[in-house]
């Protein structure tokens, strides 16, 4: 057989093999995507990195103030808390403090006159705290402070129970900040009269 004939026959076999291969690839679930570049490793890695950064940025948590605003609540700093504690309206029930911690922490010390509402067991406290919050014009809800979210959850509970959200403030500094400022602390039950007055001049309860 001549070289030309052998070459022609080999070419026909190659073409036939290619046609069969492309056909098999197209009907296979695990076939290669012919329009995809499998060898641009650097570009693929860069693109994935950009996607990861975008995803991370989108998933970044909002600041506490933004989150509270989105929920219809307000953030209270120590200056506002100090003013409201010293406000004469607190004595008449128009300003109320709500402690969102459990019994053990509340009994160990709380803002004087603060109501307790542990949102994990609300049925124990609603009879006392809900009417007070319906009357109050400004309600300061606090827990331990820092990463504790019980104050936010309790404020949301009160909002959902019918207390207007515009009246609800979350004290992010919480009882830890209150104590570190050496402001008055009441021990035991609400209005027990057991108050620690070891605070510097200028505290919200100073005479």
Domain ranges of the chain: 3-59, 64-196
Kindly give the confidence (pLDDT) of every residue in the chain, 207 residues in length, as a single tens digit, with 9 standing for 90 and above: 554 555 456 545 555 555 545 454 454 444 444 444 433 443 333 333 333 333 333 333 468 899 999 999 999 999 999 999 999 999 999 999 999 999 999 999 999 999 999 999 999 999 999 999 999 999 999 999 998 999 999 999 999 999 999 999 999 999 999 999 999 999 999 999 899 864 443 445 443
Are 187 and 109 spatial neighbours (Cβ–Cβ below 8 Å)? yes
- State in words which class domain 64-196 has: alpha beta
- Report the distance separating Cα 33 and Cα 114, nearest Å: 67
Q: 10 Å Cβ neighbour count for 114?
A: 24
Residue 177, CB-side half-sphere exposure with 13 Å CA sphere = 16
pLDDT value at residue 9: 62
Beta-bridge mates of residue 97: 140
- Report the distance separating Cα 48 and Cα 43, nearest Å: 9
């Amino acid at each position: 057989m001549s070289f030309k004939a052998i070459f022609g026959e080999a070419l026909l076999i190659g073409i036939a093999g290619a046609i069969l291969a492309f056909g098999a690839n197209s009907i296979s679930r695990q076939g290669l995507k012919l329009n995809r570049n499998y060898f641009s490793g650097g570009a693929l890695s860069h693109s994935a990195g950009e996607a990861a950064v975008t995803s991370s940025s989108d998933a970044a948590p909002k600041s506490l103030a933004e989150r509270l605003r989105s929920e219809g609540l307000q953030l209270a700093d120590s200056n506002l808390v100090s003013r409201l504690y010293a406000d004469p309206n607190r004595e008449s029930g128009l300003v109320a403090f709500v402690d969102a911690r459990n019994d053990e922490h509340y009994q160990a010390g709380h803002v004087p006159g603060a109501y307790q509402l542990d949102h994990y067991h609300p049925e124990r406290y609603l009879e006392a705290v809900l009417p007070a919050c319906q009357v109050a014009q400004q309600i300061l809800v606090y827990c331990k402070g820092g990463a504790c979210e019980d104050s936010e959850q309790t404020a949301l509970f009160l909002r959902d129970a019918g207390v207007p959200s515009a009246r609800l403030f979350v004290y992010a500094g919480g009882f830890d900040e209150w104590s570190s400022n050496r402001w008055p602390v009441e021990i035991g039950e609400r209005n027990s009269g057991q108050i620690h007055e070891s605070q510097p001049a200028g505290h919200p309860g100073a005479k």
